[in-house]
């Protein structure tokens, strides 16, 4: 009941609703790319360790570096989206 009231209130204010949808879409699409990238990194890590387990220690550092660099892409999207949300 309360939820429905909020949805209707948001729909009345079309501009805010559009901004919210755009922000959510932007972050969602950004997460999509980063999700594929992070999956790639961990998949490659598993393959690499399966082939050469003795390199695990050296590879772990590179793996986390790649993880953080890829994951940050989502947050650039988030910051960009928030900036657009506040400024427009």
Partner 1 sequence: MTRGFRWITLGAVGLALTLPASALASTVEGEEEKFDPSEEWLLHDWIPIHIGPLDLSINKAVAYLILGSVLTILLGWFLMRWRLGTDPDRRQTVGEWVYEITQTQIAEQGLPTKAIARWFPYVASLALFIWVVNVIGFIPLPLSDETFELFGVEFPTWGIYAATSTLSVTLTLALMTFFFTHIEGIRANGAVGYFKSWIPDVPKAMYPLIVPLEILGQFMRLISLSVRLYANMLAGHMLILTFIGLMFVLENVILAPLVVPAATAFYLFEILIVVSIQAYIFAALSAIYIGSAIEPEH
Q: Footprint of partner 1 on this chain (CB under 8 A)?
A: 2-3, 6, 61, 64-65, 67-69, 71-72, 74-76, 78-79
In three-state secondary structure terms, 88 is coil
Least Cβ distance, residue 36 to partner 1 (angstroms): 19
C-alpha dist (Å) from residue 67 to 5, 42, 62: 41, 8, 8
Least Cβ distance, residue 2 to partner 1 (angstroms): 5
Which lies closer to partner 1 via its Cβ, residue 22 or residue 67? 67
Comparing CA positions, the residue from 80, 69, 88, 66 lying closest to residue 29 is 80
SS3 of the chain: helix, strand, coil, percent, to 5 = 95, 0, 5
Which lies closer to partner 1 via its Cβ, residue 3 or residue 15? 3
Which lies closer to partner 1 via its Cβ, residue 29 or residue 72? 72
Least Cβ distance, residue 13 to partner 1 (angstroms): 15
């Amino acid at each position: 009941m309360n939820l429905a009231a909020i949805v209707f209130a948001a729909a009345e204010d079309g501009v805010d609703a559009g901004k919210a949808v755009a922000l959510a879409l932007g972050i969602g699409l950004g997460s999509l790319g980063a999700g594929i990238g992070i999956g790639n990194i961990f998949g490659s890590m598993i393959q690499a360790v399966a082939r050469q387990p003795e390199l695990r220690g050296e590879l772990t550092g590179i793996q986390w570096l790649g993880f953080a660099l890829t994951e940050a892409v989502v947050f650039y999207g988030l910051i960009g989206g928030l900036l657009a949300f506040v400024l427009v």
